[in-house]
Structure 1
Amino acid sequence: MGRSGEARDRETAGRGTAQDGGELELQQYFPYRLARLAEQVSLAVAEVYSERFALTRQEWRVLAILGVRPEIATKEIGPLTTLDKMQVSRAVQGLESRGIASRKHHAGDRRELIVALTPAGRALYRKIVPFALAREAELLGVLTAEEAKVLDRVMHKLSAALS
């Protein structure tokens, strides 16, 4: 059962806010706690692709995007992965240098690069996915089914509010 708004207000009343001259306790500050949790989750998942498959975090994200598409323009990768242009470029170069991905110029616009997985890249993607999904299940396994649903709804709600 969720707490009432009144219960939350009583619990947080003593903390103070910057607006009322109080202090901000970093360890209790929601954005910090969320960023820290995201980093912990990212590091836990990194064990799957980094240690076993020698991929960087950025390369893994690009590989994951390419794994569900036949090809994609490099400029579309950033918004889907939270990587900036330079990170996308380096990740694609790294994947290309190992024969995992290939790049070509867009037929209608020579300035635009299109990226696709090579057959070796598709095979690597198919090999990594079961490990990644198992890690996700392991991480979410500490939650009940209802807690996992609530977490998903809360994440969607916060994301929508920030869009």
Structure 2
Amino acid sequence: MTIDAVPAHAPLELETFLPYRLSILSNTVSQSIADEYTDRFQLSMTEWRVMAVLARFADLSAREVAERTRMDKVAVSRALARLVEAGRVDRSTHGGDKRRSVLKLSEAGWAIHDEVAPLARAHERDLLAKLDDSEKEQLTRILDKLMAP
């Protein structure tokens, strides 16, 4: 039966539904990495993603962090508040505009980043080792195509 032939009232078969499968894969991979940095550094997954974005792109506003991570603004704001309070992120103002804060990793944040990033890369290598070179290239092309606007 093709997708078009499925009646509208038929239950959604999550085990074959692409968004669900991608979500499960993402959660599984992310959680395996998170287990390591949560135990060692008491970081949530959201906090780590915020730190990774700030390591890649310095001097961002909270709105820009939310845009780059594609995470909920409230979740990003809460993560940033915890990171600032823990001394892992520095917050300053943009020029004279007190309405726009500028965020960057602190020295303590960089120290954590520099320990967690290699763990994340190792998890990525282990995951991709299941694919041959052609499959890796195909995966990259498919993901790029699906993520394009």
Q: Same fold (TM over 0.5)?
A: yes
Deviation at 1:139, TM superposition (A): 1.4
Larger radius of gyration: 1
1:90-101 mapped onto 2 (5 Å cutoff):
90-101=78-89
Unaligned runs of 5+ in 1: 1-11
**Distance in 2 of aligned mates of 1:14 and 1:106:** 51
The equivalent residue for 2:144 is 156
The runs of 5 or more residues in structure 2 that have no matched partner are: none
TM-score (norm 1): 0.82
**1-side partners of 2:12 and 2:61: how far apart?**
43
Mark the CA change 1:84 to 1:25 in structure 2 (over 3 Å): closer, same or farther.
closer
Which digits, 9 at most, give the CA deviation of each residue in 1:59-109, with x for residues without a partner? 001110111233211110001112222111111111111111111122142
1:114 to 102, 113, 125: 102
| Larger displacement relative to structure 2 (24-33 or 117-126) | 24-33
Query: 1:140 and 1:110, CA in 2 relative to 1: closer, same or farther beyond 3 A?
Result: same
SS at match of 1:150: helix
**CA distance, structure 2, for counterparts of residue 33 and residue 80 of structure 1:** 23
1:132 aligns with one of 105, 117, 120 = 120
One-letter amino acid of the counterpart of residue 93, structure 2 = H
How many residues are treated as equivalent by the alignment?
149
Once the two structures are TM-superposed, the CA of residue 25 in structure 1 deviates from its matched residue by 2.0
RMSD over aligned Cα atoms: 2.0
Give 1:142's match in structure 2, choosing from 108, 130, 137: 130
Query: What aligned pairs does 1:46-57 form with structure 2 within 5 A after superposition?
Result: 46-57=34-45
The residue number in structure 2 matching 1:17 is: 6
List, as ranges, runs of 4+ consecutive aligned residues in structure 1 with deviation greater than 4 Å. Answer: none
- Aligned in 2, Cα 1:14/1:105: closer, same or farther, shift over 3 Å? closer
Is the contact between residue 67 and residue 122 of structure 1 (CA under 8 Å) also seen in structure 2? yes
Check the 8 A contact 1:15/1:22 in 2, yes or no.
no
- Are 1:48 and 1:132, in contact at CA under 8 Å, matched by a contact in 2? no
Does 2:18 correspond to 1:30? Answer: yes
CA 1:14–1:81 in 2, change beyond 3 Å: closer, same or farther?
A: closer
Q: Quote the Cα distance in structure 2 between the aligned partners of 1:131 and 1:14.
A: 40
1:8-36 CA deviation, whole Å, 9 max, x = no partner?
xxxx54994235x6553221122222222
**Alpha-carbon distance in 1 for matches of 2:95, 2:135:** 48
Q: Is the 8 A contact 2:33 2:119 kept in 1?
A: no
Q: TM-score with structure 2 length normalisation?
A: 0.89
Q: Contact 1:17 / 1:24 at 8 angstroms: preserved in 2?
A: no
